Structure 1
Amino acid sequence: MAVVMGVRQGMEVPEQTRTMAGHSKWSNIRHIKASKDLARASVFEKASHMMKTAVKEGGSTDPKLNTKLAKAIEFARSNNMPTASINNTLQNLQKSQANAQPGLMELKGPGGLFLLVELHTDNIKGTRSAINSVIKKTTISEAIGSVKGLFEEKGVVVTEASCDLDAATDLAISVGAEEVVHDDNTLMFMCSPRDLDEVRQGLEQQNLTVIHASIDFLPKILTSISEEEEKELSIIMQKIEKVQDVVKVHVNL
């Protein structure tokens, strides 16, 4: 015969039972809250990183003059980042911008791959040390003086592909771009870094929707690596990009 043990109606629940039940419920609530707080902090960290990158690439902490920064601020607001936190991030970026200088760090990766790490820092030694801590005990190592020549600095403007490649080529010529590449649903116009603003404005005047505009280091020669090496590279790159004062990581992949 099965015996069902329980509490009869009207019978008082022992104090210990009530305490344990309450403790279990509070533990669950606390666990859920901790998970949500962690996810929230991660989103805020991403928003701060986006603002930092936008300021370093656009050179301005004024969202009216820096469209990428305006988008980063909108991302922060849409994810409920407090206004005070956004303002503090911008104020700190303003202070760091005053003394920061651009720099590069050259790295050799798995499978003969090369990485060019773009920096903007007022403490180059400290930033390099932080990156070396990340790549320590990995397949990535410093390759001073042997990487920058494998990349070419170019102005890059990415737009929505609202016309075919032939029409885009004509547009590229008219606005002063050197080359245009069609990729899925976008067009990528390349030009001299000094012509970036002129090309971007010219494309906007031709009613093309600009998605992104920046100065990038484009690889002259691409290198193929294995799927396993690519997974390893992706993990390490994410860690490098989180280092304070790293703007962008360029790879000849």
Structure 2
Amino acid sequence: MSGHSKWANIKRKKEATDSAKAKIFTKIGREMTVVVKEGGPDPANNSKLRDLIAKAKANNVPNDNIDRIIKKAAGDGEKNNYEEMVYEGYGPSGVAVIVECLTDNKNRTAGDIRHYFDKFGGNLGTSGCVSFMFSTQGTIILENNGADEDKIMEDCMEAGADDFSIENDVIEITCKPSDVHTINEALTAMGYKVLSAETEKVPSSYTALTDEEAIRKMNLLLEHLEDNDDVQNVYHNWDMPEEPDED
């Protein structure tokens, strides 16, 4: 995910096919497995798990699946030890790309990621080659409950947000990465429905693509990366053209 709006990515996932939904469940399941092993199975004492449960529900992961993942990770049923890996490189025409993975087989994942970059006109680089172009920020997406803008601004500022914007059916909030959880909790207590609360990498500048072949290859690179079960997040600085609304 990257670009101008986190919500565009969430909407795309919500409209995804059943097979794509299964992949989303797999990715969230891996994240939950890691945070349960790190901080325990009780969401009351594990804020990362609490946020992930909210993320899972926003992506329509059934409650039974969530419970099963937590119990398996807390017991002896989950034998996989997932390791966090970050890959950096360039897509077509020098678009900066960061790929965050959770993998139980580093050689397989590294080979897959390198193959995608090579196949679609990019090249995998060394650690740090593009990350300096990005900063980390907290992004929280709320369902727009119909409150007027002054009320929304008052509530967001009271919760500790740095900024907010309203786009049709959602409210997009930015904040410090360390404040995501507390702001999430505050806004939930105020009655807002939180659709997503995460940290993400935001580019300092964007790269536009005008060549049709470069655009085609960049889309294919992103599709293959996001389709890989080991890949958790993809960030880039492609200035993607906005898709027209379908009414």
TM (norm. structure 1) is 0.67
Equivalent position of 1:200 in the other structure? 184
Displacement, 1:248?
1.4
Name the structure 2 match of 1:139: 121
Count residues in correspondence: 203
- Aligned 8 A contact 1:57 1:214 in 2: no
Offset at 1:121? 2.0
Q: Deviations over 1:113-167 (max 9, x none)?
A: 1111111123333311111122223211113222111111222110123345444
Question: How many angstroms apart in 2 are the aligned matches of 1:63 and 1:248?
Answer: 25
Matches within 5 A, 1:82-121: 91=72, 95=78, 99-121=81-103
Q: 2-side partners of 1:230 and 1:67: how far apart?
A: 34
Counterpart code for 1:52: T
In the superposition, relative to structure 1, how do residues 151 and 102 fare at CA in structure 2: closer, same or farther (>3 Å)? Answer: same
CA pair 139-242 structure 1, distance change in 2 beyond 3 A: same
Is 1:160 aligned to residue 148 of structure 2? Answer: no
What is the Cα deviation at residue 101 of structure 1? 2.6
Task: Name the structure 2 match of 1:181.
Answer: 165
The residue number in structure 2 matching 1:54 is: 28
Distance (Å, rounded) in 1 between the aligned partners of 2:72 and 2:153: 42
Equivalence for 2:193: 209
Q: Which residue of 2 aligns with 1:13?
A: none
Contiguous gaps of at least 5 residues in structure 1: 1-41, 78-82
Structure 2: state its 5+ residue gaps: 1-15, 44-49, 239-247
Q: C-alpha distance in 1, partners of 2:220/2:86?
A: 20
Q: Which whole-Å deviations, capped at 9, do the CAs of 1:186-222 have from their partners, x for residues lacking one?
A: 2111222222111111111222221111221122212
CA contact (8 A) 2:137 2:177 kept: yes
Query: In structure 1, the residue corresponding to 2:102 is in which secondary structure?
Result: strand
Contact conserved, 2:95 with 2:207, CA < 8 A, in 1?
yes
TM-score (norm 2): 0.68
Match of 2:235 in 1: 250
Give the aligned partner of residue 67 of structure 1. 54
Q: Percent of aligned pairs with the same residue?
A: 19
**Structure label with greater radius of gyration:** 1
Cα separation, 1, equivalents of 2:142 and 2:156 = 12
SS of residue matched to 2:62: helix
Matched-pair contact (CA < 8 Å) for 1:159–1:212: yes
For the 8 Å contact 1:155–1:214, the answer to whether it is kept is yes
How far, CA to CA, are the matches of 2:102 and 2:230 in structure 1? 5
- What amino acid maps onto 1:249 in structure 2? V
* Alignment correspondent of 2:134: 151
> RMSD of aligned C-alpha atoms?
3.4
The secondary structure found in structure 2 opposite 1:95 is coil
Counterparts of 1:92 and 1:118 in 2: how far apart (Å)? 21
Bigger shift: residues 221-230 or 187-196: 221-230
SS of equivalent residue, structure 1 residue 221? coil
User: Is contact 1:109–1:115 with CA below 8 Å preserved after alignment?
Assistant: yes
Change (3 A) 1:223 1:165: farther
- Structure (1/2) with the larger helix percentage: 1
Q: 1:169 to 1:220 in 2, by over 3 A?
A: farther
Q: Is the partner of 1:139 in helix, strand or coil? A: coil
What is the CA-CA distance between 1:105 and the residue it aligns to? Answer: 0.8
Cα distance in 1, alignment partners of residues 148 and 215 from structure 2: 32
Aligned equivalents of 1:193 and 1:55: distance in 2?
A: 22
Structure number with higher relative contact order (C-alpha < 8 Å, ≥ 6 residues apart): 2
Deviations 1:73-124 (A, max 9, x none): 339x9xxxxx8xx969x9599736x622322111211233111111112333
Task: After TM superposition, list the pairs within 5 Å mapping 1:20-35 onto structure 2.
Answer: none
1:123 maps to a residue whose letter is: N
